[in-house]
């Protein structure tokens, strides 16, 4: 299999898995509903307007437009790498994971507001005729669901500022697309420093 086909298959697989999970959660769970899987793993349905792991940064429209621009640049870069015989296949895999994750969350922003009615804490959302959803193009909310409270404890009373308050180790709620981005970025940092440094040198 060529690097180009591998990248296309991987991106498609991540997108399909991501969207299947999100659509199931969106259409089967009320907002903020939580399913206990284990004491350290929950399926907890939330939505956010921001970036990965629920961060909120700036205007929703500006963020969506920035995502589109960044994804276009990354997609072009991935395409260039797939055409080079000297590029490691694993490097293309990492880039494809990041690209697929970014696309997965962008799909939420682009279309979920058009095809779903609004989720709330009392009823489960459903599909509606295209354009009759809870928001407009690029203004949809990203669906998150994976919650891993690995350690839940309380700060000791003598602890400054937070004494007596609850402490949760790894509290973000995220989705499959976020996972693909995070794994891809970590692998790039760990194993592809040469490629990253060469990219930085080209910019200079």
Distance separating alpha carbons of residues 193 and 187, to the nearest angstrom: 10
Distance separating alpha carbons of residues 82 and 7, to the nearest angstrom: 8
Q: Which of 39, 108, 117, 178 is catalytic?
A: 178
Is-contact 131 45, C-beta < 8 A? no
Give 31-38 contacts, CB < 8 A, sequence gap 24+: 31/119, 31/120, 31/121, 32/121, 33/121, 34/147
144 is annotated as an active-site residue: yes
* CA contacts within 13 A on the Cβ side of 46: 16
Q: Specify the pairing of strand 142-147 against strand 41-48.
A: antiparallel
Q: Which of 18, 39, 108, 144 is catalytic?
A: 144
Instruction: Give the contacts of 162 (CB within 8 A, at least 6 positions apart).
Output: 155
112, exposed or middle or buried, with CB in 10 Å at 0-12, 13-18, 19+?
Answer: buried
* Catalytic center residues: 144, 178
């Amino acid at each position: 299999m060529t690097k180009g086909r591998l990248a296309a298959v991987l991106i498609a697989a991540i997108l399909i898995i991501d969207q299947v999970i999100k659509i199931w959660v969106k259409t089967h769970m009320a907002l903020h509903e939580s399913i206990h899987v284990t004491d350290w793993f929950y399926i907890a349905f939330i939505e956010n307007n921001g970036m990965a792991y629920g961060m909120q940064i700036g205007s929703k429209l500006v963020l969506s437009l920035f995502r589109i621009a960044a994804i276009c640049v990354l997609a072009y870069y991935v395409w260039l790498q797939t055409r080079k015989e000297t590029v490691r296949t694993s490097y293309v895999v990492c880039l494809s994971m990041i690209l697929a994750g970014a696309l997965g969350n962008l799909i939420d922003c682009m279309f979920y507001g058009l095809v779903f009615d609004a989720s709330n804490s009392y009823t489960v959302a459903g599909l509606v005729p295209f354009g009759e959803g809870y928001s407009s193009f690029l203004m949809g909310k990203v669906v998150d669901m994976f919650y891993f409270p690995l350690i839940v404890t309380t700060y000791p009373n003598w602890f400054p500022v937070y004494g007596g308050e609850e402490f949760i180790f790894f509290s973000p709620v995220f989705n499959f697309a976020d996972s693909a981005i995070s794994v891809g970025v970590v692998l790039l940092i760990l194993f592809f420093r040469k490629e990253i440094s060469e990219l930085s040198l080209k910019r200079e």
